[in-house]
Amino acid sequence: MHILIVEDDPVVADVLGMTLEEAGHFQSTAHNIETALAELKLNAIDAVLLDLNLPDGDGTRLARLIRKNHMPVPILVVSGNSGTDDKIAALGAGADGYLTKPFDRFELLANLDAIIRRT
């Protein structure tokens, strides 16, 4: 599977990338919404791991853009925002799941596998 990591923190992006690679996935990284949209248009992406706090806007904006453009890619939000309102907003914007940081890598992979299986 080709997973797009949308995360502005390079350390977190590296941890996510290593976790995915150890599980046998190929990954690309985008550090902002603009780059993520370009990756989605250029590559066959199987799922998106999406942070909410990005330098060029809220990750929910990217989720809405993905859905507005009828991209059927599953979206798992991985965010430090643990508030109920944040979760509701992300899921309402088109995310398929929500996992708060810090996360267990096995829980991340289980959530990712579950949303991919449902699509």
Residue 116 lies in a domain: no
Domain harbouring 79, CATH code? 3.40.50.2300
Q: What count of other Cβ atoms lies within 10 Å of the Cβ of residue 37?
A: 17
Of 63, 55, 54, residue with least CA distance to 98: 63
Q: What residues have CB less than 8 Å from 100, skipping those under 6 apart?
A: 78, 79, 80, 81, 82
Residue 114 lies in a domain: no
- With bands split at pLDDT 50, 70 and 90, how would you rate the model's confidence at 115? very high
**Which range marks the domain in which residue 52 is found?**
2-104
Domains identified in the chain, total number: 1
| pTM of this structure | 0.96
Residue 117 lies in a domain: no
Q: How far apart are CA 111 and CA 54, in angstroms?
A: 22
pLDDT at residue number 119: 82
Q: What is the mean pLDDT of residues 56-83?
A: 95
Q: First CA to last CA across the chain, in angstroms?
A: 13
Residue 111 lies in a domain: no
Residue 36 lies in a domain: yes
pLDDT at residue number 117: 93
Cα dihedral sign, 44-3-14-83: positive
